[in-house]
Structure 1
Amino acid sequence: MPTETAQPTFVLIRPQMGENIGAAARAMWNFGLDRMRIVAPRDGWPNPNATAMASGAGRLLDAAVISADTPAALADCTYVYATTARPRGLTKPVLSPEAAMAEAAAKIAAGGKVAVMFGPERAGMENEDIARANAIISVPVNPDFPSLNLAQCVLLVGYEWRRASAEVVATRVDMARDGAWAEQVEIEKLADHYEDTLERAGFFWPEAKAESMKMNLRNLWSRMPLSRADVQMLHGVMRQMVRWKDRD
């Protein structure tokens, strides 16, 4: 059974190969989408090739709703998008996947039932199907090679749905187990250790440039996002270098 999570329904219009249906299911489940409808699959249903390709996403295929035609698949929907890369001579709003899924998230939050249609692999969606859509999703692809694999298109739209509906952190750092960022006092002690040791080694020369060199070194430490483990290692590097020199 599909989850209770509010989400759009992905409708595959007359898909031709079971492998592509399975790959689409896998792409959907990557982003937490599990409401699939399939209109008139060419090779019938169920399809063992789809199940094999879906891998861990077979549950989507088990719960998929099979319809004989597009109107039946869209009957309970309140807003429908059609994915197509080609101009079709129809007057409709055309949105990027990002804009479409942001809009879809708002419509679903307001209680709407949103569907996204994906056309068959060989020729894409026909105008008869696109005419039933409220808006078009167009992926900004290379105009000289606009054709996308069915699962690729599903993946792109699913990714944008995830971005629009979940809290996605744009940048993060995964710390090692038991890791922690170094505190400022630890950075200061590391800077003192290097500065004192390099001073004794005669590194800050000529004297006229010594203060500038020390400032640059301090600035180097401040630019580096150091963990406590990093600081300990750098202390150890300098201590070992001094021991290596002294053994001679």
Structure 2
Amino acid sequence: MTHKNPAIILIDPQLGENIGMVARAMLNCGFTDLRLVRPRDGWPSEHATRASSGALDKGVVVTLFDTTSAAIADCHRVYATTARPRDMTKNVYTARSAMVEAHEKENEIIGILFGAERSGLQNEDIALANGIITLPLNPEFTSLNLAQAVLLVTYEYLMQGDDTPDTQVATNLANKDTINQFSDRLIDTLDDNKFFRSEDLRPTTQRNLRNMLSRMEWTDQDIKTLHGIVSALTKN
């Protein structure tokens, strides 16, 4: 199923540079619908274009609105981002849990509200949202710039559709016989060099060594290297 990424809606954004950096963050995560409500310095903005690193020329589409209500008119579900607790009865989400829910609503248009840089969202804006997104950061320092906040949320949405498997380095793992042969050699070498000073502790120490070597995912080359190290140390 192809999902339409949520709209990013900036309420009363102040600096064109911040709008541009938001556009850049959005396009990093495949978001292209940027809606501006009453940008302080007007629109279009040369400062925004420069700060966007090309995002405003390569896919991010900006639409202007006079009110929050107009900006979310076509949205079926809206989330409001805020760093401060609000005295409202609304579901409160982390960015991840909100984006999990949003990604499941494949037939809905989703909007995510972000407030002005200094003051955040007004209660009147939050009242229009279905739920609130908070970001669990260091409680002693929760300061984010606008683009950082947008990137955190949009990245969580992007990850909901990512089924790329982790890349594993192609290696030839050593089989247990190869590992056991090295374990035997190591223990014999340690024994020859009086490593096991206590006969009572010898069985436990040997078992610990075998356990340590067995739980690692050694490659054939790893074992060859270890053999080489033992040979070099015992050459004289």
Which TM-score tier does this pair reach, normalised by the shorter chain? 0.7 to 0.9
Q: 1:12 aligns with which of 10, 16, 28?
A: 10
CA 1:184–1:35 in structure 2 vs 1: closer, same or farther (change >3 Å)? farther
Match of 1:140 in 2: 136
Q: Which runs of 5+ in 1 are unaligned?
A: none
Distance 1:140 1:27 in 2: 20
Match of 1:224 in 2: 216
Q: Deviations over 1:171-192 (max 9, x none)?
A: x6853xx544433333223212
Aligned-partner SS, 1:117:
strand
Aligned-partner SS, 1:42:
coil
Q: What's the CA shift for 1:221? A: 0.6
Q: More displaced, 13-22 or 203-212?
A: 203-212
Aligned-partner SS, 1:207:
coil
TM (norm. structure 2) is 0.84
CA 1:198–1:141 in structure 2 vs 1: closer, same or farther (change >3 Å)? closer
Match of 2:19 in 1: 21
Q: 1:186 aligns with which of 160, 172, 178?
A: 178
Q: 1:125 aligns with which of 107, 121, 125?
A: 121
Match of 2:111 in 1: 115
Distance 1:80 1:89 in 2: 18
Q: What's the CA shift for 1:98? A: 2.2
Structural mapping, 1:59-70, within 5 Å: 59=57, 62-70=60-68
Q: What's the CA shift for 1:150? A: 1.1
Structural mapping, 1:26-175, within 5 Å: 26-55=24-53, 57-59=55-57, 62-107=60-105, 109=106, 111-141=107-137, 146-167=142-163, 175=169
Distance 2:167 2:205 in 1: 30
Q: More displaced, 227-236 or 98-107?
A: 227-236
Q: Which runs of 5+ in 2 are unaligned?
A: none
Q: Deviations over 1:47-73 (max 9, x none)?
A: 222233222534467523333332232
Match of 1:204 in 2: 196
Q: Supply the AA of the counterpart residue of 1:164.
A: Q
Q: Supply the AA of the counterpart residue of 1:48.
A: E
CA 1:183–1:11 in structure 2 vs 1: closer, same or farther (change >3 Å)? farther
Aligned residues: 235
Aligned-partner SS, 1:241:
helix
Q: What's the CA shift for 1:5? A: 4.6
Aligned-partner SS, 2:84:
coil
Q: Higher helix fraction: Structure 1 or Structure 2?
A: 1
Q: Supply the AA of the counterpart residue of 2:199.
A: E
Q: Supply the AA of the counterpart residue of 1:95.
A: Y
For the aligned residues, what is the CA RMSD? 2.7
Distance 1:173 1:194 in 2: 33
CA 1:223–1:60 in structure 2 vs 1: closer, same or farther (change >3 Å)? same
Q: Percent identity?
A: 43
Q: Is the 8 A contact 1:179 1:229 kept in 2?
A: no
Q: What's the CA shift for 1:125? A: 1.1
CA 1:55–1:230 in structure 2 vs 1: closer, same or farther (change >3 Å)? farther
Q: What's the CA shift for 1:121? A: 0.4
Q: What's the CA shift for 1:165? A: 3.4
TM (norm. structure 1) is 0.81
CA 1:26–1:184 in structure 2 vs 1: closer, same or farther (change >3 Å)? farther
